[in-house]
Amino acid sequence: MTIKKIVLFCSILLVISFTNLIAQNQVTFAPVIGLYLYNSENSLPVMGDDNYLLNYGFELSYRNNNLFGYTIQVDYSYLYSGIDDVLTFVNTNEGGPEPIRIYQSDVSLSLNNLDISLIGNLGNKFSFGFGPSFSIVNRSVTVEYYEFEDRLASFNVGIIGLIDMRIPFSKNTEYWYFYSGLKIRYLHGLLYDEGLRDLDGYNQNFVTANLSIGIGYKF
């Protein structure tokens, strides 16, 4: 299965989840910031002495409180990390007309995540959940001096655990609410768009901890 087919499958799954709308649904939007508790990319030579540490982005969440008798939550999130001037190169160009040039390489990492969680309640305001996670990961290494860019797309699978808080702004049947959540995610690389690359022995593994604070609506 190619990565494009996987993206199509995840999109269809997301649409199906949103079209099964019945009473007591919740939609949340939240900016996200987090840490890489572990990132296998940090061990690669292209990272030099730098490491991916922070990531940031946003999350869009839909919760159905009675889908086939269960409370199910579907989240889409986008997370990004980028580091400039990771490695420095010097082009002496001995004997040539051009002067000595110094140039750097930049790296970036983006994750498009789809999480599906089975939710349980911890009182009226708190809840917890766990379930599978699917991610399209894009890794990029660029050297502007040579107009060089290496992009690698991959499909990762894993698991998430979350705990969140939702505080209503009113006592109406339909209402806006304040949202805050903490999510731990583990991902493992399954498929790689390797092209002409030799990826023998290469693998991706990520562990992230993300805090989200936003707003939602129950209808």
Q: Which residue type does 72 have?
A: I
Q: How would residue 8 be classed by pLDDT, with cut points 50, 70 and 90?
A: low
Lowest mean pLDDT among 5-9, 66-70, 126-130, 169-173: 5-9
Q: What is the structure's pLDDT at 163? A: 98
- Please give the full DSSP string across 95-144, using - where no structure is assigned: TSSSPPEEEEEEEEEEEEEEEEEEEEEETTTEEEEEEEEEEEEEEEEEEG
Whole-Å CA distances, 202 to 2, 38, 81, 145, 192: 18, 16, 20, 27, 10
Q: What is the structure's pLDDT at 173? A: 87
Q: How would residue 104 be classed by pLDDT, with cut points 50, 70 and 90?
A: confident
Mean pLDDT within 69-80: 96
Q: What is the structure's pLDDT at 10? A: 57
Sign of CA dihedral 27, 30, 35, 40: positive
pTM of the model: 0.84
Mean pLDDT within 129-154: 91
Domain edges within the chain: 3-218
Q: Which CATH number fits domain 3-218: 3.90.50.10, 2.40.160.20, 1.20.1250.20, 3.40.50.720?
A: 2.40.160.20
Residue with tokens 């159905």: 64
Q: How would residue 6 be classed by pLDDT, with cut points 50, 70 and 90?
A: low
Q: How would residue 149 be classed by pLDDT, with cut points 50, 70 and 90?
A: confident
Q: What is the structure's pLDDT at 69? A: 84
Q: Which residues contact 127 (CB under 8 A, 6 or more apart)?
A: 71, 119, 120, 121, 163, 164, 166
Cβ–Cβ under 8 Å, residues 178 and 29: no
Q: How would residue 43 be classed by pLDDT, with cut points 50, 70 and 90?
A: very high
Q: How far apart, in whole angstroms, are the C-alpha atoms of residue 185 and residue 187?
A: 7
In this structure, what are the phi and psi dihedrals at residue 24, rounded to the nearest 5 degrees? 65, 60
